[in-house]
Chains A and B, each alone.
Chain A
Amino acid sequence: MLAYLLLLVPTPPLAGFVLLALDPYRLDRRAVRAAALVAGCAPLVVMAPMALAHLTKFWGDQIAPIFTLHVGNYEVALAVGLDTLSAVTALTVTFVSACVLIYALDYMSGARNADLRRFFALMNLFQAGMLSMVLAADSITFFLGWELMGLCSFFLISYNMTSPRAFAAGQKAFVITRIADAALLAGLLLLFLEAGSVRLAELIPAGAALDTARGPLIAALLLVGAMGKSAQFPFHTWLPTAMAGPTPVSALLHSATMVAAGAVLLARFAPVLAANDSVAAATAVAGVVTALFGAASAVAQTDVKRLLAYSSISQIGYMLVAVGVGVPAVAMAHFVVHALFKSLLFMASGVLAHAGAGGTSIAALRGTARRAPISFAAFAAGAASLAGLPLVTAGWWSKEAILASAFEAGWLGLGVWAVGLTAAALTAVYAFRPVFTALRAPETETPRGRESWLAVGPLVVLAVLALAGGLGVKPLTELLGGHPPHPALWVELAGAAAALLGIAGSAAVTFLPALAGRVARARRLRAGLQMDARYYALLVRPYRRFVRRLSGGRGEWVTRVVAPGRGTEGVERELEGAVRHARQPEGATSDPVGQATVVLGLWVWRALLLPFSPDRMDMAWMQGARGIGRAAERARRLQTGRVRDYALALALGLAALLLIGWGMTWR
């Protein structure tokens, strides 16, 4: 029965969403903030004891059935459940989202009440979606949460509803992730049909045991789904533009939790991937390519938020590498650590941007180290963790575990390791660029600003965890059922060297004008190898053109087809009226198939009409009528008007009558 407490985890944010979205009590600002805070932090309060009880082996795996659907012979049993993976991910999500919500109370304090309500309502809905996804014990609840996150992501990216740019960014994110979601849905449905159950505990072993062609297909579809949501190359283009959303949104959705959900998905379905070597290898390759690509693009960024976005892309690439080489536990450890330091980086950069010259460009950060020292320190801690500063940061431990696991995974793994190491060095380069820039003397001296404790409190907590959390990486990996690798010393030293070299390179890029200029000129890299423009040219524009061609104009072509100026006058007039129906009405667009049907109908109509035009039946009647007229004409000539003619006729008639009378009496 205690398992049903799990339902209490996503419920409070859902209730918060309903309360804030419908707003039946006309809440004022304070009440909105209070409701959002309570609804957003309650999951942590409920989840923490349960997760700890489970992780300390005090409480076993739990399943709380919600309800069961019966479709023919199939049973679709919805449930939430608690196992190690869901305990770790749910704890991370609840914790990070509580931190971000507290931070948002301060960050969003300038918004109008209605906007504030909308913001927190969507944040709460997002929490509910993410939590139902990580706690799901069946594929339907999983997908429900997955899609709910996408919906919230769309609305939160375009939170600034008057900005066309924000809307376009949200739309782009929604469409690209939906493409991947369609693949995921296909994979989940196929898996369901194969396994005959939606329960993950039955689904995943059944998927792993498949030995038909469907096995790799399902694994590949799941991989595509994960890559879309996690903005992995080549689906990555939506994430940098998604930074149009407010900073708390970027901190929660587009770095720590939602974007990393792809890694959670793959960790969840790791047995299915492991059963299909080719797909597992593809996962590792896709991950490491993305890691390198994201890190290289991040180096060239001039905007902190975009830099961090590319960084998320790259870091989740590492998680995919870990799943691909068969150590999902390590991937999840990195998921936890990444959630901590990436949300920290985003939130701290938000404070620094407010303290700086305004705007989110890296150059504007100059001098903020002195103006907002606590936030700067927190940011530096996050950057150190991201860069993998050896030994003292959590990021080092988790990333090193991934690289070492790859190193131990055969020839392909060796290649992956080498590329991953390069990416790690680049990571250090970009991670420290904002830090060093913030340290530089400002162009104009301004006094130290006030740092609100609401904003700084979560930063400090997260900063401590981003550094000290390294102690927990190994135990966490073991808890998740993985074995932390024991690489040779030189492998570890190579990792450490990469990070330190990277930091040195970062200093060089920041302080040496020649190098800084080269980075500033790397436009192609900054635009993420211009994949965006390529997609636009290859997919979006052709699609729009196609739509426009299909529905452009008002379908005037129909007029030319229907009334080419032939036929008798009557038909012509008949058809002129009909053309009105074939052509689209005012304000409508062309609809070729529909209009073709109308044209076809009109042709049939004309074919039926022509034999009757002129109407031959009518002509026959008229002919008869004319005949009668002619007969009357002749009969009229009898009317001469002369008395002798009439007397003659009278006499003849009388004679005839007498003759008839005589004839009738004659026997």
Chain B
Amino acid sequence: MALIAQLLLPFFGGFAALLAARTGRDRERWVAIAAMAATLAALAAGVALGDDGRWLAFYRADWAPSFGIQVLLAMDGLTAAMLAISSGLGIISVFISWHVTHRSALFHAAICWTVAAANGVFLSFDLLIFAFFWELMIVPAFLLIALWGHGDREAAAIKFLVFNAVAGLGLLAAVFWMGATSDPVTFDAFALAETEYSETAQILLLLGFALAFMVKLPVPPFHAWLPDAHTQAPTAGSILLAGLLLKTGAYGLFRFPPMLFPDALMALAGWGMALGAFGVVYGGILACGQTDAKRLVAYTSVAHMSIVLMGVCGGVHFALIGAGVEMIAHAFSSSALFLLIGALQHRTGTRDLRELGGLQKTAPAFATSFALFFAAALAMPGTANFLGEALVITGMFQVNWVFAAIALVSLVVSVVYATRLIGGIAFGAPKPAVENAPDLHRYELWPIAILGLCALVFGLFPQLLIGWLWTAVEAALQPLIVVQP
């Protein structure tokens, strides 16, 4: 039941927010918060009452038996972590969007629906339902960018839509193929994992899945939508994009290719790692060249998510657990950075690093928060980001030292762009735009504090995270180990 609640509570919470907006001021905000808090509570209950085995919770019911479609939901530690992030970031998004008044009801409904759809992606193991939620997720995110964004928001929203919808076709085609060739017809991922496909079929299917995941991740050359979407999206949109939508790509990559197509994954792993290595360097270098703070962070996302791709393709314990840790750490650090930059833009009206500066003098708490996530962005030991990168690099050393060396280069590049970012924002004499900027508001401070605590606690006590993800890592590795010589 806890699993169904993860989907229904935020989904109907969205409609409730739409309706509640008519009854009074700010009602829609509280309804949205209540819905997602209830989701979080249901998750906590589900985890607390969870089983010890492979899954903490499992739910299976027929939906359209003649087409073999089931409602098949399963939650392990990885899923639970992603679900917690999804609802948590949803609540934070509402809190930091208190200034949004234009069509506020729909705005909050869109936040709830994004969370609901992402939860569906994280939970579903019936591939058709998975693909359905995968496509569904695009819609509210598209609305968030197109209706409440900045600047050239329609173009950015369309770019986001086209990239993700086209990539989704790959997933859909692969899923239909798998369903159609199964006998009896089923979309149950566990059943399909047992199916033997020919080598070519496996590779084609994997490419279909991987296209969807790599566009969402995003890995160069499929990343073109991300910087635009991030810069034009409202703050809440950026947070959900970075913390949630990108993570669905990482999650999918982590979960399905090793389970369904282990042979093909191992056959293409070298290419995947090469693409990841290229993305790490390319994203890092382009981040160094940005003057728009949000675009800079967007390109760091490209670099960091490429590390996840490297980790998943590594196919060894260290690399895989590193990928898992990295995607969770990135959810905290990048959404916090987007939150801070969004708050700064709200105050100063600009994100241009050349027009910002001197925040340390005028808003010290702001600058201190920046410094914390600055440390996380450059993978300072003690933050979860370092843990993820170090684990992936360790794994790379086991697989191929060239990729390890490239990942190490990214450690250096990350210092360059991170110092550029904090140098442009916190250092220097206060620029006119910053002079009258008020310090962080209470509603901004506590989300920052929570995200910072998460980044630090998981960095300093990694067993919390590693133990939590371990069953998922083991399950992902099992088929791969059989394949590996």
Contacts and interface: CB of A to CB of B under 8 A. Distances in A.
Interface in B285-308: 285-286, 288-292, 295
Given A174-B419, A185-B393, A594-B227, A550 B286 contact: yes
Contacts, number: 165
B19 interface: no
Contact of B415 (A175, A546, A547, A580): A175
Contact of B409 (A171, A182, A193): A182
Contacts of B404: 186, 189
Most chain B CB inside 10 Å of its own CB: which residue of A73, A143, A179, A585? A585
Nearest to A552: B289
Nearest to A585: B152
B416 interface: yes
A195 to B, nearest CB: 13
A594 B368 contact: no
A519 B143 CA distance: 70
A53 B162 CA distance: 70
Contacts of A181: 411
A613 to B, nearest CB: 19
Contacts of B4: none
Contact of A72 (B224, B232, B282, B317): B317
Interface residues of A, number: 62
A530 interface: no
Interface string B27-46: 00000000000000000000
Interface stretch (B175-183, B188-196, B261-269, B374-382): B374-382
Given A161-B361, A186-B404, A596-B221, A589 B391 contact: no
B289 A70 contact: no
Contact of A185 (B166, B222, B408, B467): B408
A193 B151 contact: no
A171 B288 CA distance: 13
A548 interface: yes
Contact of A144 (B381, B397, B405, B415): B381
Interface in B132-164: 151-152, 155-156, 158-159, 162
A189 B390 contact: yes
Contacts of A518: none
A190 interface: yes
A151 interface: yes
A164 B290 contact: no
A587 interface: yes
A650 B371 CA distance: 98
B475 interface: no
Contacts of A596: 221
B67 to A, nearest CB: 30
A585 B151 CA distance: 9
Contacts of A585: 151-152, 155-156, 228, 231-232
B394 A193 contact: yes
A595 B159 CA distance: 11
B223 interface: yes
B431 to A, nearest CB: 11
Interface string A129-163: 00000000000100110111001001100100110
Interface in B183-215: none
Nearest to B228: A585
B145 to A, nearest CB: 12
A143 B408 CA distance: 15
B429 to A, nearest CB: 5
Nearest to B419: A171
27 contacts: A68-B463, A69-B462, A70-B463, A74-B317, A140-B381, A147-B382, A154-B419, A164-B427, A170-B419, A174-B419, A178-B412, A186-B404, A189-B390, A189-B393, A193-B394, A547-B289, A551-B286, A581-B162, A585-B156, A588-B227, A589-B286, A589-B290, A591-B224, A591-B227, A594-B223, A598-B224, A601-B166
Given A174-B419, A185-B393, 15 more contacts: A67-B463, A71-B318, A147-B381, A147-B386, A148-B380, A161-B360, A161-B426, A175-B412, A178-B415, A186-B397, A189-B404, A585-B151, A586-B151, A591-B224, A597-B222
Interface of A: 21-22, 67-74, 114, 140, 143-144, 146-148, 151, 154-155, 158, 161-162, 164, 167, 170-171, 174-175, 178-179, 181-183, 185-186, 189-190, 192-193, 546-548, 550-552, 580-581, 584-589, 591, 593-598, 601
